[in-house]
Structure 1
């Protein structure tokens, strides 16, 4: 079913509105509730003064090492595959732009969030005095007490190993925004899973991961608006069947045995 075309400005207004609402909710939850504390308390053993899951195989070896490596390899493969397909087959137009959005998401989502994390004053839970550390528990905009070194633990970095997957919504944009929206929870799930495993270890608070999701959304939305959406309706080119696995799909996935038509029918 064809959808009404959106201009770049319309798409940006929808995204900016959603981002603003989400940011306000995140701030309100951070200051008006104790969700972060309660969830972290659940995984902390106050009797033994430690996080039992911190060095467990599931969270430390599988979650922190192997899952991260898996998604990094997948990201590199998509970037290399895009470049190879574009150079070999001279892929241009919407397919090339979709590949560019995905490739840039692989690079920019972890890169930008890691940079912001470097300048953060917030500490990881296992460094906070409530959970056996030395630093005070601070909320998002609280000032760092004098004599306390910055924690550099916000937003969550490990989750971004998979949060770049949100860039795959480009496979359904700009022609199928509803399909892109429907796929968003599935694409965010791996990153949220990695974030949750880190919360079990005491490496991050829930709010750290949720703000990484928010930033990933903002980055992917900006890339999509820039590369995929026309500035005016006159520039819109309807390609209703070029979603994942079709002629307009991500170049690195075009020649694969699995076609998205199998999922979209």
Structure 2
């Protein structure tokens, strides 16, 4: 439990403190902004918007549908029970991550960098839990939805943990890299601060971990939470 959840969340908390509370968010965003000549010149660039945003989002939808189809097929043929269990665990984790990120976007209506006065917008900055004027428009910029396309697949770590443990860390690194790259795309466009991506990564990892342990047989889950099983 210490390795799989507590230590990662401590690291995420430290990073969130540095970027959100200590305002490194604005330092990094201003750097991207100035690199583009004091504007978000790449906001609608075909590479950033059409390819790395729209098409990646469509590809992710196809991957989720493929995962659903494969999970249903495995259940229908009634073979490879361990594989079927792992597939459904991954599917529940991925869908839960997307659903929770979407819900929080509506509950925590923060602005994107491109909305803010200092970055060419028309809005002042309101903190995460700061009281907002009733007339303030709602912007759905927190957490980072696009980064969640990569971070939701952190559940691949647990998918491979019981099937092919030697692939688990590679899958974890791949999903983390995908989330980081997709988050950076949105930062370059002015759509998110880095702390938005940090929060999304922490949220997705927590959801994937929780669903994995919830779906484990009780004795196995208790042993792994206690750190008995070295694969956990």
TM class, shorter-length: 0.7 to 0.9
Partner of 2:208: 220
Classify 1:126/1:88 alpha carbon distance in 2 versus 1 (closer, same or farther; 3 Å): same
Bigger-Rg structure (1/2): 1
Q: Structure 2: state its 5+ residue gaps.
A: 225-230
- Is the Cα contact below 8 Å between 1:71 and 1:161 reproduced in 2? yes
1:70 paired residue number: 59
Aligned residue for 2:32?
43
CA RMSD of aligned residues (A): 2.9
Change (3 A) 1:76 1:233: closer
Alignment of 1:119 with 2:123, yes or no, is no
> Conserved in 2, the CA contact under 8 Å of 1:22 and 1:214?
no
Mapping of residues 202-217 of structure 1, within 5 Å: 202-217=190-205
Partners in 2 of 1:67 and 1:120 — Cα distance?
25
**2:227 matched residue in structure 1:** none
The aligned residue for residue 262 of structure 1 is: none
Residue 88 (str. 1) matches residue 77 (str. 2): yes
Question: Which residue does the alignment assign to 1:28?
Answer: 17
When the two structures are aligned, how many residues end up with a matched partner? 225
Match of 1:131 in 2: 119
| Equivalence for 1:252 | none
Gapped runs of 5+ residues in structure 1? Answer: 1-11, 237-242, 244-265
Distance, in Å, in 2 between the alignment partners of 1:154 and 1:218 is 17
Match of 1:170 in 2: 158
For residue 194 of structure 1, the aligned residue among 170, 174, 182 is: 182
Would the aligned equivalents of 2:89 and 2:159 in 1 still touch at CA under 8 Å?
no
TM-score calculated relative to the size of structure 1: 0.74
User: What TM-score, normalized to structure 2?
Assistant: 0.83
